[in-house]
Every structure is written in C-alpha cells, then in structure tokens.
C-alpha cells in the first residue's frame, strides 16, 4: 500500500492514497441542461506528479459510447506525447467499469495513467515523473502503480 494521505472526495465519488496532500479544485463546466463539473486533485512528491480528475459528462451516460470515450482519451494522450516516448495501452476492468491503462516511457519520463469509463464521466488517475537512471525509473514505476491501485469508488 502506498503510504501517505488517504483522500476521500464524496463530491467526485472516489478515494485514493496520495503520497502528499493534494490540492483540489472544482470548476463548473455547464449549468444547463445538466450540471457538469470538473474535479481535479493533484500533488507533487519527490519529483513525481500524482493526479486524479473527473470531467463530468455533459449528457446522460450511454454505455454504447464507452469505447469512443476511452479511445478519445487515448488519442489525446498520444498526441501530447508525440514521438518523445513509447505509449503502451491495455484494457482493464475496475469495479465493473471498462478502463484503459497506459504506460508511458521514454525521454527520461515514465508514467502510468488509468482512465475509467463511469456513468459520471471518465476518471483519469495518473502519476508521471522524470528519471535519470534505471533505479529512478523503477522507483517511479513502483509509486505510480501503487497510486493507481489505491483508487476506488465510494
């Protein structure tokens, strides 16, 4: 288990163990026809950035769009990374919700990102850091995986 600060967000519907006290924000995206907020939690610890975000859906949940939702997030991640690093993805299930996990490695940066398709929106759980050697990469990999594993719904 990752040691640190257990953060619960009843508004965003999750709990996770951050290695530091996360700063949190809640921004209103839209009021009509349905209220949609963006929840964001982030902290930096030993050069690694840990974050969880939930952009709530503008429309009602449609399970037939799950693959489209996850593919859209993957396209955005791949376009941000470009040729700087290798991105490997695999499909997962988190508490019955379809998910996609990404591993990003290259250019001295390592990270893991988990996107979970949920009726409220696509949760993004991620940890990224820079490393100078193999031991540094292993440390980031270990902390990142423990952080992703600590995420659960309330």
Q: What is the pLDDT of residues 57-69, one digit of tens each?
A: 888 888 888 999 8
CA distances from 151 to 85, 95, 134 (A): 25, 11, 26
Q: What is the pLDDT of residue 30?
A: 85
- Find, among 49, 54, 47, 8, the residue nearest to 154 by Cα: 8
* Mean pLDDT score across all residues of the chain: 91
Handedness of CA 42, 43, 47, 52 (dihedral sign): negative
Q: What is the pLDDT of residues 80-107, one digit of tens each?
A: 888 878 889 999 999 899 999 999 999 8
Q: What is the pLDDT of residue 1?
A: 47
Instruction: Provide the residue ranges of all domains of the chain, joining segments of one domain with +.
Output: 5-153
Assigned fold of 5-153: Protein Transport Mog1p; Chain A (3.40.1000)
């Amino acid at each position: 288990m990752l040691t640190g600060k257990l953060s619960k967000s009843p508004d965003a519907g999750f709990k996770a163990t951050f290695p530091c006290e996360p700063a949190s924000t809640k921004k209103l995206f839209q009021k009509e026809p349905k209220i949609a907020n963006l929840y964001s939690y982030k902290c930096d610890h030993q050069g690694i950035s840990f974050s969880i975000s939930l952009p709530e859906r503008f429309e009602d949940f449609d399970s037939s769009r799950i693959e489209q939702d996850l593919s859209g997030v993957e396209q955005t991640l791949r376009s941000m990374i470009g040729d700087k690093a290798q991105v490997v993805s695999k499909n997962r299930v988190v508490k019955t919700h379809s998910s996609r996990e990404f591993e990003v490695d290259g250019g001295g940066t390592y990270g893991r990102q988990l996107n979970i398709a949920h009726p409220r929106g696509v949760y993004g759980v991620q940890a990224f850091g820079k490393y100078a050697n193999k031991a540094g990469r292993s440390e980031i990999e270990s902390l990142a995986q423990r952080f992703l594993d600590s995420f659960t719904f309330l």
